[in-house]
Amino acid sequence: MSSELYSTLGTQPVLGRGFRPEDERGGDVAVISDSLWRSQFAAAADVIGRPITLNARRFTVIGVMAPGFLFPISVPPAQIWITLAEDARVEHPGDAPLTAERGAHLLKVIGRLRPPATVASAQADLDVIAAAIAREFPFHGDRGVRVARQLDVIVGDTRQSLLVLLAAVGCVLLIACVNLANLLLGRGAGRSQEIAMRAALGASTRRIVRQLLTESLVLAALGTACGLALAYGSIAGLVRWSPVALRGLDQVAIDATVLAFTAGVAIVSALAFGIVPAIQAARTDPTLGSQGASRATAGRMQRRLRAALVVAETAVGVVLLVGAGLLLRSFDRLVRTPPGFDPDHVVTANFRLPDSRYPYLKQIAFYDRLRADLGALPDVEAMAATVPLPMSGSRYTISFELEGAAAPRRPALSDGVSTSRRSAP
């Protein structure tokens, strides 16, 4: 990372300091996460200045980030941050660092827009810059720039799935609220004699409605408490079995924002679906003298309202059932879709050799020896090495040039250098 990243994100280490521009010119310094500080250094206050070894090289800890700091959003989350000086090192004299190569597009760019700038205005400004670069370096002129919000980058292609899930949850909530409103109407009809007695003793319609709404809020509070208890008990399992594609899902927790949102939904639901039963019950004639008379005088409007609620509940239930059926059918088809290879009894492993201990030629020798050793095991039928793994979602683009030939123009990629968006490798 560059030294400006922390200030761009609006944060700084809570212990020690962040990176400075001079650290990018060769300083072997590192900033560690709060979890690493606690698990590997026992939360020692004198961790600043301690050495750590990364890929057979020594770094000095200069800062500790605040708890909960995550950048980039990844699985597993980053625990150590170092400067761009790491990439400036070269194995052989005369070689240029990778960041100095025009064909290297490994860096991701993130920026904070100054009001009243928008994504569209930033896109227009960077298009002008990209055009100037294209004129200066024609070989890279077909690489454009695309600006996107960081939130859209984090959510990615899962936004539609999350919206569908939110709609399904809303349908379930709507069914529960309609069902509860119907029950409250029935309960109000059974309490006609009690409400008539209260009205006869001088209780106003507003006071009766307020009392019935208070009862609805109590029911909503009980339901919310049960829902939160269930969420606390099941969130760990849901996160563990969730798709890996949802970046940052391992950090999902019930915090103050979730509690406030849940309380707001509960209050709105209680008032929206409790007001009509409360008004209907408050309209009870105070001259009713018996329970039988109250049942006999149940209004036609109340019966029609209950019937309408039943129809609405059934309609929403059918929509939810059809949607669930379509999702299950789509999931079944995805499971049955052949991936193009036989995944049975296939085992994969991801690892990276440190450049400081394994220069390029040693890496080739290591992989050749590894393939030979693994292939000789009696339980191994076949083995191979690949970058990236099939169906991993990663991709790599590597270019080459012929000596003495004009550099061809490459087709434009969907993701070029981008601000606040992860570009294609």
Better pLDDT: 87 or 267: 267
Q: What pLDDT is stored for residue 296 in this prediction? A: 47
Tokens of 374: 């693994």
Q: Is the pLDDT of residue 105 over 80?
A: no
Percent of the chain with pLDDT over 90: 16
**Averaged over 270-291, what is the pLDDT?**
68
User: What's residue 171's pLDDT?
Assistant: 83
Over the chain, what is the mean pLDDT? 79
How many CB atoms sit inside 10 A of residue 328's CB?
10
**Amino acid 284: pLDDT:** 65
Q: Which two tokens stand for residue 205?
A: 């319609």
Tokens representing residue 243 in the block? 């798709």
Q: Is the pLDDT of residue 415 over 70?
A: no
**CB environment 303-315: b (16+ within 10 A), e (fewer):** eebbeebeeebee
**pLDDT reported for residue 237:** 78
Quote the pLDDT of residue 181. 78
pLDDT number for residue 195: 73
Mean pLDDT within 3-16: 91
**pLDDT score of 420:** 35
Q: Which of 61 and 280 is assigned the larger pLDDT?
A: 61
- Torsion-angle region of 401 (φ positive above 0: left; ψ -120 to 50: alpha; else: beta): beta
- When mean pLDDT is compared over 52-66, 235-249, 311-325, the highest value belongs to 52-66
| pLDDT for 226 beyond 70 | yes
- Region 30-36: mean pLDDT is 94
**Secondary structure of residue 60 in the 3-state scheme:** strand
DSSP-derived secondary structure letter, 114: P
pLDDT of res. 43: 93
Tokens at 406, concatenated: 């004009």
pLDDT at 31: 96
> How far is 24 from 87, CA to CA, in rounded Å?
10
Q: Where are the domains of the chain?
A: 1-101, 155-336
**pTM flag (> 0.75):** no
Identify the weakest region by mean pLDDT among 15-19, 238-242, 248-252, 376-380.
248-252
Query: Which range has the worst mean pLDDT, 102-111, 132-141, 219-228?
Result: 132-141
- Chain-centre distance of CA 417, in angstroms? 23
Supply the pLDDT for residue 64: 96
Give the rounded percent of residues in the chain with a pLDDT score beyond 70.
81
383 has a pLDDT exceeding 90: no
pLDDT digits (tens, 9 = 90+) for 120-141: 999 999 999 888 888 887 766 5
Rounded mean pLDDT, 16-41: 90
pLDDT at residue number 377: 92
SS3 52: strand
Residue 338 vs residue 123, higher pLDDT: 123
**Residue 215 three-state SS:** helix
On the CB side of 38, CA atoms within 13 Å amount to: 7
Helix (H, G, I), strand (E, B) or coil at 30: strand
Residue 80 pLDDT > 90: yes
φ, ψ dihedrals at 394, nearest 5°:
-95, 160
Instruction: Give the DSSP H/E element, type plus range, for residue 205.
Output: helix 205-240
Nearest to 286 by CA among 192, 190, 196: 196
